[in-house]
Amino acid sequence: MLTSLSIKNYALIDTLRVDFNDGLSIITGETGAGKSILLGGLSLILGKRADLNSLKDAAQKCVIEAVFDVSAYNLKPLFKAEDFDYESQTIIRREILPSGKSRAFVNDSPVNLSSLQLLGERLIDIHSQHQTLELTSNEFQFQVIDAIANHDGVLQNYNNVLKAYKMLQKELKELLVFQAEAIKEHDYNSFLLNELVEAKLVDGELEALEEEYETLNNIEGIKEKLNEAHHLLSEEEVGALSTLTALKNAFQKLCGFSSKYEDLFNRINSSLIEVDDVFSEVNSLQDALEVDPGRLETVDLKLKMLHNLMQKHVAADVSELIKIKNELEEKVSITENLDDTIQKKQIEIDAKTTELNTISKTLHKKRAEVIPRLKKQLEDVLVGLGMPNAQFKIEAFYSDTFYANGKDELSFLFSANKGGHFNELKKAASGGELSRIMLAIKSVLSKYIKLPTIMFDEIDTGVSGEISNKMGDIMLQMSKTMQVFSITHLPQVAAKGHSHFKVYKEDVNDTTQTNLVKLNHDERIVEIAQMLGGLDMSSSAIAHAKELLN
């Protein structure tokens, strides 16, 4: 509920502050007095984009602030989702700076416009000519039926499942595209993989093969040097072993004379053992060394193959080739297993399809149950609004397509005249008839759901007499469960209000200003009398005004 509104430096408004009550509040004023300015300021509170031209004084900032009692609106989840500070008395403030920048605040915390719009939709419903046109859209018509069906939980469940279903469909499409591309590359990847598999790659083998190749390719020179080493070690008179053995024997005889000789003896003995071990190793190398042209050719071929593969795959060593082989194995495996993956994804989609069909049938059944009730209630209300022959033909057809709100396609047809043809609302109803239909819909909805504050902007345009009286009764009835504002030119409607506000212009210091003031009982009599008979009020107009108010 809107409890107060203050506007500073906006359009023709210098400073304005007004408090509102619950029930039905009437706003009247001459054409051009500034009712649209009031709505414009309120629209800024609801998230409309700001315009620098709306500043009354371009050197000062514009501030519009509204206080709402939101305790009955169950808005805590929305406040939490949007990271607003929840207060039962919520303050929304918009500021337009001279620089053109705009700022918005909810309970003194800055917010963006999209979040403010989301909150605003739950606080005030401004009914204008634009919203009357929304009445002709299938989306709005579904919202009306679904509100009466009271299946928000089912719709939310459907939306969640539909979101998952669409995600699975997207993933399946991506898999199919990937498969088409993968199939093109599969044969080539398989060929590359087979080359690497047949190479029987072993990490570190390149260095070992290169060493073996150098040995086999230079075997004669190696044999020659090993023979020379064998001779230098084993020659009887001057060989290293013979010399060290003689040296060892000489010092063995000196050990008894001094520990110095014993130390030298031990060092010579250690050297002899080491040289003897080297001699044994040289013998082993000589025995193992064998000319093998076949092995040389095998090693040469393997080396050439490894170098070719490294060049082909731009690899620095065999370990990188092994990594590439593993990656190719994964690609080939994924391609070869894609059919299974696609089949599993399709099974998931089929399961979601079944779930969506089940929920869609529930939605269809609930809609079919409430449509006759909605049809009758709308027609009953319209009888009192001067449309006794108004008829609706509303049907929900179960289709094969998953839409955002189920599988139903809605036919919402209307005929204003007895024996007339049914047609779409936008073709069958005039502007005035659409306004009355919208009022009828809002009045029906108010019986089923907690509507936000509603502001009817001259919804009674084009009607008069008893019909206007009935429209006022409908708004008065709605105001028992919600806050209702009506901007009107009709005295019959104005007299129904619990509160009455007047918008007027006045010149102050050669400047025109718009003001809004709450009228007391006597002032209401004058205002309604002027609405009945103009500025030159007759006694009959005053009497009529009193009669309407009573």
200-to-66, 203, 325, 470 alpha-carbon distances in Å: 79, 10, 11, 94
Cα separations in angstroms, 193 against 180, 307, 510? 20, 16, 90
- Provide the pLDDT for residue 212: 67
pTM (global) more than 0.85: no
How far is 91 from 65, CA to CA, in rounded Å?
A: 7
For residues 536, 538, 539, 540, the Cα torsion angle rounded to the nearest 10 degrees is -140
- HSE-up of 88 (CA within 13 Å, CB side)? 2
Side chain identity at residue 490, one-letter code: L
In this prediction, the residues of the chain whose per-residue pLDDT falls under 50 are none
Cα(544)–Cα(529) distance, integer angstroms: 7
Residue 146's nearest CA partner among 434, 405, 532, 334 is: 405
Amino acid 154: pLDDT: 94
Tell me the torsion sign for CA atoms 254, 256, 262, 265: positive
Helix axes 318-384, 431-445, angle to 10 degrees: 100
Token readout for 324 is 């590439």
What is the per-residue pLDDT for 159? Answer: 95
Q: Which two tokens stand for residue 59?
A: 């050197």
Tell me, what's the pLDDT at 226?
Answer: 74
* Cβ 7 vs Cβ 28: under 8 Å: no
Residue type at 10?
Answer: Y
pLDDT reported for residue 189: 75
Amino acid identity for residue 408 in this structure: D
> Residue 55's pLDDT is what?
86
> Roughly how many angstroms between the first and final C-alpha of the chain, as a whole number?
27
Q: Check residue 288 and give its pLDDT.
A: 67
- Indicate the domain borders of the chain: 1-123+452-519, 205-316
**pLDDT at position 237, please?**
67
User: Could you say which DSSP state residue 55 is in?
Assistant: B
pLDDT digits (tens, 9 = 90+) for 457-466: 888 777 777 8
Strand 102-106 to strand 89-96: parallel, antiparallel, or no bridges (unpaired)?
antiparallel
pLDDT the model gives residue 541: 87
CB burial of 16-33 (b: ≥16 within 10 Å; e: otherwise) equals: bebebebebbbbbbeeeb
- Estimate the crossing angle of helix 240-254 against helix 259-288, to 10 degrees: 160
Give the class (CATH, top level) of 1-123+452-519.
alpha beta
pLDDT (0 to 100) of residue 67: 96
- Phi, psi dihedral angles at 94 (to 5 degrees): -120, 140
pLDDT in tens, 312-355: 888 878 888 888 888 887 777 777 778 888 999 999 999 999 99
